[in-house]
Structure formats: structure tokens, C-alpha cells
Amino acid sequence: MARPRVVAELGRPETPEETAARKAASSQRYRSSKTFRNLIAALIVCLGIMAVVYLGVPRGTPADIPEADVAGSAAEAESTAGHGVVVPKVPSDWRANSALVEGGEWRVVYAPPRGFVEVTQAFSAPDGWVSRQLGGYAPTETTTIAGIEWDVYDLPADVQKIDYALATTIGSDTVIIGLAESTERTAATTVAEGLGDQIRTLREEAR
């Protein structure tokens, strides 16, 4: 009959209870290490699937939003108003974001290199229309640009994102050039200069 094995750490043979405890501890360590390996393997698989999905799904580039057709929309505005409308002449690097006629108003929004410029012509504008559009503020001064006199509105706070505006009349219509806060004030002058001849012509037609 084989003699029990002497355990070096104990200096004597293991008791049955110690043997059982050692085997149980060994099994526990094995199961723990196996669980950890399985966890790592699962993470690797998940990362692999994510990489395949990310690389495999076509993303492409966003479609360019077409520039607004100012001339075409102006023709529609003239048909609605029954008379001519202003068509701003702006630098070539300004983008026309929108041009539409709605609610008795013809409006064009341009995006210069910085900020935005909004040109609005209200048909048969009622008394006080400009004031209501510009937060109830009164003009701070007047200025003449390309022979046309404009009321200047240097607003103390943004009104519908506009903090500076020029306004003038064409018969019963009213035109406002509004600038966003981030827009250079010279942009209003640029638009007003481009509208000078048009406004004079439309005023003659309105008489």
C-alpha cells in the first residue's frame, strides 16, 4: 500500500480534508482563469464586429444644398405683388441661402464670408411695419447711399438675430436690409449700393 505523499509546506502527509480543500481551491482558480479568458475573448470578438460594421458601412459625403434661385423666385414675387421687386446685386462670393415670397413679403437671405444679410420687401406695408419687424425700436439716424436715403437702425439688442438694419420705401412698399451681429456693417452698404438704381426705377413706376 502506497504511503501518503509528504507535502513540503506541511512537512507531513495531507489529511483527507486538506487534500479536498487543495483540489477545491485549484478547481476554483481554474474556473476563474477560464472565465477571465472567455471575457477577453468576447471583448475581442465584439471589437472585431464593431470594426467590420464601421469600415463596411458606406458613409459618403453629404449632398450639397443647392443655392437659391434668386432670379426665378423674384419673378414669382413680382407676379404675386403685381409690380417689380428688388433683386440685390452682391459679390460673387456671397451665397444665396434662400429666396422666397411669403405672407406679402419678398425675402432673400445671403451668406457673405461672415454672418448673413437679409433683404426684405414688404408689399403695401402697413404703418409701423418696420418698427414691429425691428423690436419696436426707432431709427438712430439717416444715411444716403447711391442717392437713396435710408433710415439706420443700430439696435441695442438682437431682434430675430438682426442687430443692424437699413430701411427705405418704394411707393407703398418698404425695404429692409438686416444684418446679423457677426456681419460686417459694410455689407449693408454693399447691398444698398446695388439697389440704388432699382429703387429709383421702381419709385418712378409706383407714381
Residue 55 has pLDDT above 50, yes or no: yes
With a threshold of 0.85, does the pTM exceed it? no
Average pLDDT, the chain: 85
pLDDT at res. 62: 44
Is residue 207 very low, low, confident or very high in pLDDT (cuts 50, 70, 90)? confident
Q: Which of 11-25, 75-89, 187-201 has the lowest mean pLDDT?
A: 11-25
Q: Which of 27-36, 38-47, 87-96 has the highest mean pLDDT?
A: 87-96
More confident residue, 158 or 34: 158
* pLDDT tens profile 101-146: 999 999 999 999 999 999 999 999 999 999 999 999 999 999 999 9
More confident residue, 195 or 3: 195
pLDDT at res. 52: 61
Domain 70-206 belongs to what architecture? 3-Layer(aba) Sandwich (3.40)
pLDDT at res. 156: 87
Residue 150 phi, psi (nearest 5): -125, 140
Residue 9 has pLDDT above 80, yes or no: no
Is residue 13 very low, low, confident or very high in pLDDT (cuts 50, 70, 90)? low
Residue 4 has pLDDT above 80, yes or no: no
Q: Are 150 and 175 spatial neighbours (Cβ–Cβ below 8 Å)?
A: no
Q: Are 181 and 165 spatial neighbours (Cβ–Cβ below 8 Å)?
A: no
Residue type, 49: I
Q: What are the Cα distances from residue 42, in Å, to 27, 28, 37, 48?
A: 22, 21, 9, 10
Residue 31 has pLDDT above 70, yes or no: no
Residue 39 has pLDDT above 70, yes or no: no
Neighbours of 38 (CB within 10 A): 10
* pLDDT tens profile 158-175: 888 899 999 999 999 999
DSSP letter, residue 40: H
pLDDT at res. 205: 92
